[in-house]
């Protein structure tokens, strides 16, 4: 078997050891001895990876900041108390106490798992070992199997916050990804239901077909030698999704720089266009501690959905894209198409940033994750459907307004859009989309 990105010797160490081997060092309530003597539910939970247990602990109501505040590890001070006694002209300050958060603190804080265990008490042991060959149902049987089956029909936001449901989905995806690529079809099948947020990074990589020794390939790329693109990258990074704590951190900027530069260096036939940083952001956020996987996902994503978009002269590619998009608008909503043409509000004015960044420049990250969960299940024509769905969601406002009002409306687009409704409209559009719009003239040849 080739060394894939989800092989046992590559990814599993990144996921971390089991809870039973780290229960003391991470500060969870309980010891190895107590785990061995505990009931079955506790033993099952102790076999899961530490990141899974912490994620479920948070879903069950755990608040790490509150726990640290109660232990006085995090202490808030009035801003006036943080000012220095005096400040020199050269900027050097004196008399300012050092914030404890910047100092090493090896204090161990015990986090109780009682609330999490109580939430998972009705989950049967079989749920921790799903049968991948059983195609009857993707949800394991348990005392609350009926409730879990009903949970599938609930809105996506509710499902992502349901502790029992997320446990089932995380375990199932974990098993499927460990069997990748042999269980690739099942990964696609389950991804059509939903993708657990904790597993999203690996699931996206599987949907994009990422395989091979990606770490070795990433390490072999020269990311240090200065290139002409460096200056533009330095300008773009501080403006890319800086509301997010990870991406706005100094370490986030450094990782951004390395991944973007690796892509530019490894694709000499393509160029860096403004917006590539926004395209990189979701992959980097999901794989913040695995730059190689973020790079591999972006490298697989661009040829599929943005083929030739990053050529030095991409005018003919963009023009073709906008022409097909205009035809789709006219096909699905002739009235709206005629109105937009009459007022001169053509796709050239608003759609280029949509497609060049696959909507990452338009929506915040938490909306992009759900949007791309669906996008990655479609072919290269799926972005057209997203664009038409956005226009249909704004249809009444667009028909009632002129050119200037439409420009203002699109300048603050995320406020007016509901992503869950957008996903439903995408499904309907995909069913009614003619074969004429399912491909592009400038698209990659299928790999046989």
pLDDT for 140: 47
Mean of pLDDT over the chain: 83
Q: Which long-range CB contacts under 8 A does 107-112 form with residues at least 24 apart?
A: 107/71, 107/73, 108/25, 108/27, 109/27, 109/67, 109/68, 109/71, 109/73, 110/27, 110/28, 110/29, 111/27, 111/28, 111/29, 111/57, 111/62, 111/64, 111/67, 112/29
Q: For residue 423, what pLDDT band results from cuts at 50, 70 and 90?
A: confident
pLDDT tens digits for 47-106?
899 999 999 999 999 998 888 888 878 777 777 777 788 788 777 777 777 666 667 778
| Domains in the chain with CATH codes | 12-70+109-212 (no CATH), 220-305 (1.10.8.270), 315-437 (1.10.472.80)
Cβ proximity of 116 and 62 under 8 Å: yes
pLDDT for 31: 39
Q: Which residues contact 157 (CB under 8 A, 6 or more apart)?
A: 420
| 198 vs 107, more confident | 198
pLDDT of 19 above 80: no
pLDDT for 435: 60
Average confidence (pLDDT) over 228-252: 93
CA distance 73 to 66: 10
Average confidence (pLDDT) over 321-346: 94
Give the containing element (helix H, strand E) for 94.
strand 93-94
Measured over the CA atoms of residue 177, residue 179, residue 181 and residue 187, the dihedral's sign is negative
Q: How many CB atoms lie within 10 A of CB 361?
A: 18
């Amino acid at each position: 078997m080739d060394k894939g990105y989800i092989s046992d010797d590559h990814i599993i160490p990144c996921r971390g050891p089991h809870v039973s081997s780290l229960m003391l060092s991470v500060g969870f309530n309980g010891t190895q001895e107590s785990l061995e003597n505990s009931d079955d539910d506790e033993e099952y939970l102790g076999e899961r990876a530490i990141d899974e247990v912490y994620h479920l602990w948070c879903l069950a109501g755990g608040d790490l900041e509150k726990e640290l505040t109660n232990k006085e590890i995090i202490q808030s001070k009035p801003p006036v108390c943080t000012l220095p006694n005096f400040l020199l002209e050269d900027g050097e300050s004196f008399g300012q106490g050092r914030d404890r958060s910047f100092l090493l603190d090896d204090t161990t804080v015990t986090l109780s798992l009682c609330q999490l265990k109580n939430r998972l008490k009705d989950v049967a042991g079989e749920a921790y070992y799903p049968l991948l060959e059983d195609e009857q149902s993707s949800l394991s049987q348990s005392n609350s199997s009926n409730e879990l089956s009903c949970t599938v029909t609930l809105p996506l936001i509710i499902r992502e916050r349901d502790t029992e449901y997320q446990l089932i989905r995380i375990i199932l995806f974990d098993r499927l990804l460990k069997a990748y690529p042999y269980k690739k079809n099942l990964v696609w099948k389950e991804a059509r239901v939903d993708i657990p947020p904790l597993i999203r990074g690996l699931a996206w990589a599987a949907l994009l077909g990422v395989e091979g020794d990606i770490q070795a390939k990433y390490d072999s790329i020269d990311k240090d030698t200065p290139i002409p693109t460096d200056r533009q990258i330095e300008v773009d990074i501080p403006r890319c999704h800086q509301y997010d704590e990870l991406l706005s951190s100094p370490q986030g900027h450094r990782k951004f720089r390395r991944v973007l530069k690796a892509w530019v260096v490894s694709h000499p036939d393509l160029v860096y266009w403004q917006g590539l940083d926004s395209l990189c952001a979701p992959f980097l956020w999901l794989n913040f501690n695995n730059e190689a996987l973020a790079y591999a996902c972006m490298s697989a994503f661009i040829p599929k959905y943005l083929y030739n978009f990053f050529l030095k002269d991409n005018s003919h590619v963009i023009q073709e894209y906008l022409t097909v998009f205009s035809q789709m608008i006219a096909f699905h909503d002739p009235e709206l198409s005629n109105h937009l043409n009459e007022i001169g509000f053509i796709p050239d004015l608003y759609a280029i940033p949509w497609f060049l960044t696959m909507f990452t420049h338009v929506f915040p990250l938490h909306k992009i994750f759900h949007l791309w969960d669906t996008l990655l299940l479609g072919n290269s024509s799926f972005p057209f459907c997203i664009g038409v769905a956005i226009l249909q969601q704004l249809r009444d406002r667009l028909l009632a307004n002129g050119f200037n009002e439409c420009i203002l409306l699109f300048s603050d687009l995320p406020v007016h859009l509901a992503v869950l409704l957008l996903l439903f409209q995408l499904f309907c559009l995909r069913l009614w989309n003619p074969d004429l719009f399912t491909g592009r003239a400038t698209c990659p040849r299928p790999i046989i």
